[in-house]
Amino acid sequence: MTVRAVTISGEGPAGKLTTTAVNLPQPDSGEVLIDVVSSGVNRADLLQRTGLYPPPKGAPEWPGLEISGMVRRLGAGVSSRRVGDRVVALLEGGGYADQVVVRETQTLPVPDGVGLVEAAALPEAACTAWTNLVDTGRLRRGETLLVQGGSGGVGSLAVQLGAALGARVVATAGGPERAARCRELGAGVVVDHRSEDVVAAVRQATDGRGADIVLDVLGGGGLQDNVRLLAPGGRLVVIGLQQGRTGELDLARLMAKRATVTGTTLRSRTAQEKAEIVAAVGRHVWPMVADGRLRPVVHARVPLDEAQTAHDLLESGEVFGKVLLVP
């Protein structure tokens, strides 16, 4: 069947987004077809547009890692969803479209208290924050969590999740207004990286001890400072590369702190791993959304046909939370 989607034309940094017609398969066994109401825009989409983050084998070529919408059709054997259900979905790609096909195990009901459009800001951020803070980072109540980039799509959710899990949350943000909003989300300490020395400020806020977990979107450019900021036994979890793929690592400092550095991605994980992460989010995170401890943070809604505008907005560095595409 043919649907409208936003595809990438051109190569490298000159890559642009264009609305066109694409072929979408019928849902196979265990899959559902969803009418898209809203699509989340992520930095991974920007990388895909410039050729730096190709989709996994078998995934749609057009971008989009999360959506909200209504189930239109069921594949054989689907048992947890019904036609007409309001759902969100975690995707390998293809979210910038009027419809998507996805495994039922990568869908969740829209949580109580959240509108169908705003719900698209949740699946990628919630799955990323949960698996990296809890599964990889082993966050425990009372520990100090440093969220590098607390104003981002994942960061704004991670600040809330860390606070809800009983951590002391420290976040970085650019500018006093963005810092204030991070405090509203639950960060006890916010460092304005535009005007403050992040290393000195975090050390002061932790009485020189450092953070038990650093959730990092900076990558190579932030590696040395992040290791300096780790407490003894600390865990640095790298989930982004905004400041490059490579950096210098002081192994002696890492060893002295008995610390670990882990890099993770969500998109390339197996179907089974994604199903387990989505199920855990449904069990543990969705109740926090329903009772108000967590909420989607939406900066702007942009029409699907203006997806390039959404990318330009995200690249500007002024977005707080998520940008959504609305077909």
CATH entry 3.90.180.10 includes domain 2-122+267-326:
yes
What pLDDT does residue 14 have? 74
Place of tokens 């829209």: 110
Residue 92 neighbours by CB under 8 Å, 6+ apart: 55, 56, 58, 59, 60, 65, 267
What pLDDT does residue 17 have? 96
Q: Cα–Cα distance between 105 and 53 in angstroms, integer? A: 24
Q: Which fold has domain 126-263?
A: Rossmann fold (3.40.50)
Give pTM, 2 decimals.
Answer: 0.96
Residue 255 neighbours by CB under 8 Å, 6+ apart: none
Q: What pLDDT tens digit does each residue of the chain (327 aa) get?
A: 899 999 999 877 778 999 999 999 999 999 999 999 999 999 999 999 999 999 999 999 999 999 999 999 999 999 999 999 999 999 999 999 999 999 999 999 999 999 999 999 999 999 999 999 999 999 999 999 999 999 999 999 999 999 999 999 999 999 999 999 999 999 999 999 999 999 999 999 999 999 999 999 999 999 999 999 999 999 999 999 999 999 999 999 999 999 999 999 999 999 999 999 999 999 999 999 999 999 999 999 999 999 999 999 999 999 999 999 998
Distances (CA, A) of 93 to 45, 67, 81: 9, 10, 21
Does residue 218 contact residue 242 with C-beta atoms inside 8 Å? yes
pLDDT tens digits, one per residue of 30-52: 999 999 999 999 999 999 999 99
Q: Cα–Cα distance between 305 and 6 in angstroms, integer? A: 7
Q: Comparing 2-122+267-326 with 126-263, is the CATH topology the same? A: no
Domain coordinates in residue numbering, the chain: 2-122+267-326, 126-263
